[in-house]
Chains A and B, each alone.
Chain A
Amino acid sequence: MGQYILRRLAISIPVLIGITLATYIIVNLAPGDPVTALISPEAAASLGPDWVAQQREQLGLNKPLPVRYVLWIKEIGRGNLGYSAQDRQPIAKKIRERLWPTLRLMGMALLIALLISVPVGVVSALRQYSVLDYVVTISGFAAISIPSFFLGLVGIYLFSLKLGWLPTSGLATVGKPHTLGDSLRHLILPAFVLGLAQAAPLIRYVRSSMLEVIRQDYINVARAKGLRERAVIYRHALRNALIPLVTVVALILPLLLGGTVIIEQIFQWPGMGTLAITAVKGRDYPVIMAINLITAVMILVSNLIADILYAVIDPRIKYA
């Protein structure tokens, strides 16, 4: 196992380089540059071409593409993520500011998704073809189809504007002293909308996995032994049914840091998704590359974790 891990890690390095190289080329192919993205056309006309040229010079945009890429790799090697082209702030600082809100939102959403999907999926599988099952599958289908921003706006309209139970958006109420309750109240709606969206595919996973498991022979054996149905389900069927779910969740882990653009925009949540979309709109190459690198690392690591977990949980799996 140890050797397997080492091998996987060793392969990750060239994969990462390949990913960053491909991203760098593609991002630079997009029209525009950070300077023109920063200012309105009127401002560009007022400032004149000299200013634009000077800004490009300061940002190092005049160097040829391969040179810029190599310089960037060197900085990364030194542990320096670089400076944003839009506001000249250190990127590490920008990311640090947004990590916590992102983790909170995505973590809570994942928790909600699991809390919804596991029981619902299990029940739906056990009572296959019942009314409940149909209701669940159809609403799951609907939940996957409805865009999350729509769900978010409906949620805001219903719970904030009409009922007044929850605040519309933001991390916390400005100007008031910070409390856990205030924070949670702001977190509920976005986390729930996101959780619902994530739960929909998870329900289907759990359901189909459960269906497969309860048809296995050992379940019959367990029943034949005289175990109560509840013991059969929880002690034997569920654990085995959740194995594929573990893999799926491990693959969702990179999202924990990646954030989600749409929900963050709707709920004005200062997360990594907002940072990413702002960087893309503003052609902020250093930030785009930094986020890309972090996401790639996260995905590689979580894939590795998923594989290891799988081997740990399922004794039938072993790696040479």
Chain B
Amino acid sequence: MNHEHDDKRAIGRPLGSMSRRGFLTGVAAAAGSAILAACGGSSTAPTATTAATVAATKPAAAVSPAASAAASPAAAAPTTAAASAVSPTSAAASAPAAAGTTAPATSGGTTVVTAPTAAASTGATGGQVSVKWTKPATIHPLFSTAGIEQGAERQMFGALVRINDKLEPIADLAEKIEISGDAKTYTFTLKKGLTFSDGKPLTSADVAFTIERAVDKRTGSYWRGRLLALDGAADFGDQKATTIKGLVTPDANTIKMTLTNPDSTWLITLGDFNGLSILPKHILESTAPDQMAKAPFAFAPTPSGGAFTFADWKADQYLQVKRNETYAGGPKAKLDSIFFKVITQDDVGLAQLESGEMDVFAAVPVQELDRLRKNPNLTVVSVPSPSVTFLAFNFGRNTPFKDKRVRQAMMYAIDRAGIVKSVLNGEGTAVNSTIIGPDWMGIPEGLNQYAFDPNKAKQLLKDANFNSSAKFSLIYIPGTKVTDTWLPIAQQQLKDVGINVDLTQLDGTEYTKRLVTGATPTTTGDFDIAEVDGGVFRADPNVSAKYFATVSFVPAGGNYGHYSNPQVDDLFKQGVATPDKTQRKAIYTNLAKLLNEECPWVFLWSPNSIHAYNKRLQGFKPSSYANTFMWNAEEWSVTK
């Protein structure tokens, strides 16, 4: 009827004159074309140059290796590349001998370190390599705090000094380093003809600029603390002075650094984190110090002065660096480019490794070792890592762990060697102190091995009148298969002798807060026991000072539990006062014995670092003592 006609027009036409059908067709067409466009286009096209993608290291704490090789006036045995045949695959013909440290020559109290002469590498030029990387917060050298970031920066930037696979400092952009007899003055002579990748020369002015910005408090750089050892740096950083007194650049190629106190490990400090990268003054001087972290340079660091330059950065995907054709600091890199692929899940990275999409995977989880070894395309190497897994005690609260016997009981109660064998597949060694290297130090003899002995543990606990009904919280960050496996085992073994421990899982920030930032100089954080993996102990015995000396109390150091022992402090002081290795070895042997007896931690083990890489990669030399496995990436090459 007419009435219904009108209603139909009113009700069925909410869109006015357009019919329902027309509207729906329009929507379908729009959606369809949108989807087709989505399939067809991609704004994330990687560049056309073939490049090598390299897997980056996990951010193991690469905080302060303190290898003190450089300043020894005694004739140190030169470590040449041939000697560093740690990697079984260095039999590859193209392995160059460029990594050797020349023995520092001493004359009249001054030690001179010269840059190693790079032998001509026989690898072919060209090709690309993919490396596993984890997501970086920044790739700006002044602000990076994680090893993975620095590993990538190291490829792009040159530094005065960098660290080789033996954790020894070698001269990089500097041709010659003179160290005064009192270890207070360091004079660097830059190589001739150095430039940034945009052609502008790299001179001492750039070095001075980099150091000044790093020291400046307004910048907020990670490097500030390390560089405060320079005379006058503190005043400059607080803007009380306009220059750093101890930093002088007499000419374009010379930099003279004077320290406030003698420090024979200064080169290690400069070489730490893959070296203090030299920034281009002509690009960055117009950026205010407090704006540096935000500047575009932080995610597009070009130009740079290293063997590679920045090519591309795709967030959450990859960083690409390509060969620097104007590099004058040594032989040019072989690879066309390196891709650092961001991988958040190990499984994904391993799948890419096996399918050939990834070439290098560092820090392979130990469970995958056997499977990867069977893969005919991969080479797997396992080297001792510099870190130690341990349980830290909180001495800041009233716990029975203040009694040495209880701590020793824990050492006996946990079957450390057994866990290394079963959970770590033998990839590691149980340790009984943190004095475990480097080579000249070795592992001291005469330490109590604390072999697995629950009865002895029970006896010690009885002697100490330990109350078995007490419960303690052990905080840790879950997520690593190895840790998640061995902790319940240890918990059970402790329970068997009467120590009841609750495993408390925390996420990263809460853990950091309870262990470090929640502490004050006089109070410790909120934990009874903490499981920690880290440290670079194998680099130098003095690294342990960061964890056991009274001056290293958290939050300003690594002494998480506020352990304090005047004897220990004294020995640490003695250890750095002399550069003579024989004397140091004796001092640290005594220290090791003391730590071994006192057990301020439950010393567990030092795990191995396992790296896997595709056989087509040549020149890979796993750093025997650190996770900086890309330290010689400019020597890498690929066979097709």
Contacts and interface: CB of A to CB of B under 8 A. Distances in A.
Interface of A: 1, 31-33, 36-49, 51-52, 54-55, 58, 83, 86-89, 94, 97-98, 100-101, 103-104, 107-108, 111, 153, 156-157, 160-161, 164, 167-178, 180, 183-184, 187, 265-268, 270, 274-275, 278, 281, 283, 311-313, 315, 318
Given A49-B556, A100-B44, A268 B34 contact: no
Nearest to A111: B35
B145 A47 contact: yes
Contact of B355 (A33, A167, A278, A283): A167
Contact of A44 (B8, B34, B225, B512): B512
B316 interface: yes
B348 A266 contact: yes
Contact of B44 (A87, A94, A161, A171): A171
A160 B355 contact: yes
Interface stretch (B339-347, B377-385, B409-417): B339-347
B160 interface: no
Contacts of B47: 175
Most chain A Cβ neighbours within 10 Å, of B146, B347, B511: B347
26 contacts: A36-B516, A36-B517, A44-B517, A45-B555, A46-B225, A47-B145, A48-B556, A86-B137, A88-B293, A97-B314, A160-B355, A164-B355, A168-B348, A169-B352, A170-B317, A171-B42, A171-B44, A175-B51, A175-B53, A180-B42, A268-B316, A268-B344, A270-B315, A274-B344, A312-B23, A315-B8
A184 B516 CA distance: 47
B43 interface: yes
B528 to A, nearest CB: 16
A97 to B, nearest CB: 5
Interface string B147-167: 000000000000000000000
Nearest to A157: B351
Interface string B499-517: 0000000011111110111
B298 interface: yes
Contacts of A1: 14
B357 A168 contact: yes
Interface stretch (B58-66, B196-204, B562-570): B58-66
A289 B41 CA distance: 30
Interface string B542-570: 00001000000011111010000000000
The 8 A-B pairs at the shortest CB distance, nearest first, are namely A32-B509, A178-B45, A270-B316, A42-B61, A37-B509, A88-B294, A168-B351, A44-B516
Nearest to A88: B294
Given A45-B556, A100-B38, A175-B47, 4 more contacts: A44-B517, A54-B217, A54-B220, A88-B138
A161 B315 CA distance: 26
B294 A83 contact: yes
Interface string B28-59: 00000011001111111111111101000001
Nearest to B14: A1
A35 to B, nearest CB: 8
A281 B135 CA distance: 13
Nearest to B554: A45
A2 to B, nearest CB: 9
B451 interface: no
B615 to A, nearest CB: 18
Interface string B512-539: 1101110000000000000010110000
B352 A174 contact: no
Contacts of A46: 63-64, 225, 546, 557-558
B351 A156 contact: yes
Contacts of B339: 174-175
A268 B43 CA distance: 17
A174 B512 CA distance: 36
B39 A173 contact: no
B130 A87 contact: no
B11 interface: yes
B145 A43 contact: yes
B510 to A, nearest CB: 5
A311 B14 contact: yes
Given A94-B315, A171-B317, A270-B315, A38 B137 contact: yes
Interface in B550-592: 554-558, 560
B337 interface: yes
A173 to B, nearest CB: 7
A184 B15 CA distance: 38
A161 B344 contact: no
A45 B220 contact: no
A108 B33 CA distance: 12
B354 interface: yes
